[in-house]
Structure 1
Amino acid sequence: MAKLMPPATVNVELTPAELALVRRALGLVHNFGDPDDWEPAERLREDLEPGE
């Protein structure tokens, strides 16, 4: 297992279905996650949205 130290850049290949699951999971953080994680999860979810 890799140990990531901030700041880090990680490239991961995902299928469209896997990416959709990650986005959905990040959306659930606001309902079920720790409040300290709400903002970082939302920023990451926005970063994963398709570009225009």
Structure 2
Amino acid sequence: MRHLAIDRCTGDAMRLCPTSLFSQRTVISCLAGQRSSLTPSCRKSYDAVARALRR
């Protein structure tokens, strides 16, 4: 699931969070802050990973 999210969100991360790409943690945080601007496929994958991590 995580790898799918990475594949689907790479473009969004590069577009929305270019200064955060040095660390996975900062990219995740940045994407969370930009959630409304994520592409639908990235948002869906991101939400699925977030739900899994909360369990």
Query: Shorter-normalised TM-score: what interval?
Result: 0.3 to 0.5
TM-score, normalised by the number of residues in structure 1:
0.36
- Structure with bigger helix share is 2
TM-score, normalised by the number of residues in structure 2:
0.35
Structure with the larger RCO, 1 or 2 (CA within 8 Å, 6+ apart): 2
Larger Rg: 1
